[in-house]
Amino acid sequence: APAPRYDLARLAERLPGAYAASQRPPIVPQPAYDPAFGTRTPQETQVPARATSVTFTPAGAAAPVTLPLAVKAVGQVFEPRHGRAVGRLGVGHPQSGPLTPATLPLGPADPATEVLFAADPAVPLGAPADGTQLWRIVGDAPQTHPVHVEGCDVQLVNRVGWDGTVRPPDANELGWKETFRVNPREDVIVALRPVPPTLPFKIGDSVRLLDPTRPAGARLDASPVSPLDGRPATVVNQLVNLGWEYRWHSRAAGLRDQGMSRPLVLRVSPKAPTGLTATPAPGSATALPAIALAWTGNGSRPPATSHLLQRATDTTFTAGLTEITVAASATRYTDATVTPGVTYHYRIRAENAVSCSAWSNSVPASVQLTAPARLTAAVPPAAPLRVAVRWANRSFATGVDVQRATNPTFTSGPGTTAIAVGDNHVDPAVAPDTTYYYRVRTTYLGAASPWSTVATVSTPPRPGTPGTVSATATAPTADTATVILSWSASTPTGPGSGFVVQRALDPGFGQELATFAVTGRGFTNTGLARGVTYHYRIRSFNVVGTSAWTGPIPVTTPA
């Protein structure tokens, strides 16, 4: 059985709603779009001949906006070299006037003149961050050309003949277009808004020679007039950044291949940061060693959403690669995860949701630990014999190496002791009557600081038995006597050293024993009984130990 008749009326009724559900509203509101979007546009926007701007009220806006009209051209030129007429796209001549051409044809190797900036669809039309452009494409060719514009939403606003007649778009020219016709002696007004697609990855810019088929530095067969200021110009083949490179061109394949094609630059990537510097910071006892990075941001159109900082241990960024995400507004970053003594290489780029800038310059940097300072070494005054070493840490550390030797070049009797982080160390393994040399360094993540300056200390010798002892007894009062002892000693005096004097009534020092600590080489014993024989003995001591006693020294006080 035949299929039921297609309900064209029902389809026509529902198509506007389906269109509105799947498409963005037009850039320039027109009454023809009201049934789809439920809007009420009071009047049709018509751009007259030779207009330089367009004023309209965007959908949902309370006030009108005025956007400039950029002049483009579809024309034809004669190529003497090939003896043929070819189509060309172009721009308005910067010095157009009664005696100069209105448009300037450009070839495929001329520098890009169509540059659009990607914008968030939520950005209002006419705002500083908006990327909308309006073009007036002049039909200066002897025949109709199908023109194709890539990478943009294109709305055909109206046509205007060179006789001033304004014509609205045909029914099949409503909605978003990529291809539209440009008729002879007629201007086409189009509105363009680039909207980059959502991607699961990032795409960088197209950086290439103006003419990839020619060597760099070659003079190109391009327009002899600059499209910027109308002055004579020579175009040299060189690398250029064409952003996300699209084309606008003729759909007629033969004309396109003969040069009726121009780059359309879609600026999606943020501008690359410049001037990256890396400054090592050795840190302190409480601050980690780090490398301080700084750079210059270069604008926000298109805006960046973040920076990607790369760190590696080689110049090609393949070894030890680490990636760090930094805020879009940041111009500084401190990397405190570095290992001292390792040379790192850094570079940075700006990123947004779909693209990224070129890399900045790369810079090397290496942080070194700082040697400890104010090292001192001394023998503590209390036994046992030790050497106390003190210093001030100037780098963050996880350990300290203490090195000791018996000569200042640390080639004789060297020994290194690894200790926990601190600012002091007691060395108990020292010998008497020896000069020691000490130095320290801090360690962190397997790296070590330079050695500190050297501290020198000499340990005292073992104490010798006092000699040449003399004793004198006097009776300064009628009831008491005084004994004065003096002696010599070979051991130097100093902290922790002295003498012990013992007194008893018998030479075995068992009766009425009294002990006295003396610092000098003499002792005066007062308040003694008269007519009594006392026995004295003396020995020296220091942090190393004590000497032997002298023999008993009998002294009889006056009767």
Q: Answer yes or no: do 424 and 445 share one domain.
A: yes
Q: Answer yes or no: do 97 and 230 share one domain.
A: yes
Query: Is residue 275 domain-resident?
Result: no
Tokens of residue 120, six digits = 């968030």
Query: Is residue 273 domain-resident?
Result: no
Q: Which of 161, 190, 196, 166 is nearest to 178 (CA)?
A: 190
Q: Answer yes or no: do 445 and 478 share one domain.
A: no
- Measure the CA–CA gap between 232 and 318, rounded to whole angstroms: 47
Q: Answer yes or no: do 343 and 378 share one domain.
A: no
Side-chain half-sphere exposure of 195, counting CA atoms within 13 A: 13
- Measure the CA–CA gap between 37 and 21, rounded to whole angstroms: 9
Q: Answer yes or no: do 395 and 507 share one domain.
A: no
CB of 291 closer than 8 Å to CB of 322: no
Q: Which residues contact 62 (CB under 8 A, 6 or more apart)?
A: none
Query: Is residue 27 domain-resident?
Result: yes
pLDDT tens for the chain, 559 residues: list them: 888 888 899 998 899 999 999 999 999 999 999 999 999 998 999 999 999 999 999 988 889 999 999 999 999 999 988 899 999 999 999 999 888 899 999 999 999 999 999 877 788 888 888 889 999 999 999 999 999 999 999 999 999 999 999 999 999 999 999 999 999 999 999 999 987 888 888 888 999 999 999 999 999 999 999 999 999 999 999 999 999 999 999 999 889 999 999 999 999 888 899 999 999 988 888 888 999 999 999 876 788 889 999 999 999 999 999 999 999 999 999 999 999 989 999 999 999 888 888 899 999 999 988 999 999 999 999 989 999 999 999 888 889 999 999 999 999 888 999 999 899 999 999 999 999 999 999 999 888 999 999 999 999 998 999 999 999 999 988 899 999 999 998 766 677 899 999 999 999 999 999 999 998 899 999 999 999 999 999 999 999 999 999 999 999 999 8
Q: Answer yes or no: do 291 and 331 share one domain.
A: yes
- Measure the CA–CA gap between 28 and 520, rounded to whole angstroms: 108
Tokens of residue 426, six digits = 């007691």
Q: Give the number of domains in the chain.
A: 4
Give the end of a domain, one of 359, 394, 422: 359
E-strand ranges in 140-182 read: 145-149, 153-161, 166-167, 179-182
Query: Is residue 205 domain-resident?
Result: yes
Tokens of residue 91, six digits = 């721009």
Q: Answer yes or no: do 243 and 329 share one domain.
A: no
Q: Answer yes or no: do 353 and 415 share one domain.
A: no
The amino acid that residue 398 corresponds to is: T
Q: Answer yes or no: do 551 and 417 share one domain.
A: no
E-strand ranges in 125-226 read: 133-139, 145-149, 153-161, 166-167, 179-182, 186-193, 207-209
Q: Which of 161, 245, 251 is nearest to 208 (CA)?
A: 245
Q: Answer yes or no: do 315 and 427 share one domain.
A: no
Query: Is residue 366 domain-resident?
Result: no
DSSP H helix total and E strand total for the chain: 3, 37
Q: Which residues contact 21 (CB under 8 A, 6 or more apart)?
A: none
CATH code (residue 453): 2.60.40.10
N-term to C-term CA, the chain = 160
CATH code (residue 17): 2.60.40.420
Give the end of a domain, one of 313, 328, 359: 359
Q: Answer yes or no: do 517 and 449 share one domain.
A: no
pTM of the shown model: 0.66
E-strand ranges in 197-352 read: 207-209, 239-241, 244-250, 261-267, 274-281, 290-296, 306-312, 322-327, 332-335, 344-351
Q: Answer yes or no: do 252 and 388 share one domain.
A: no
Q: Which of 503, 506, 491, 507 is nearest to 543 (CA)?
A: 491
Give the end of a domain, one of 306, 327, 359: 359
Query: Is residue 368 domain-resident?
Result: no
Q: Which domain holds residue 297?
A: 280-359
Query: Is residue 102 domain-resident?
Result: yes
Query: Is residue 272 domain-resident?
Result: no
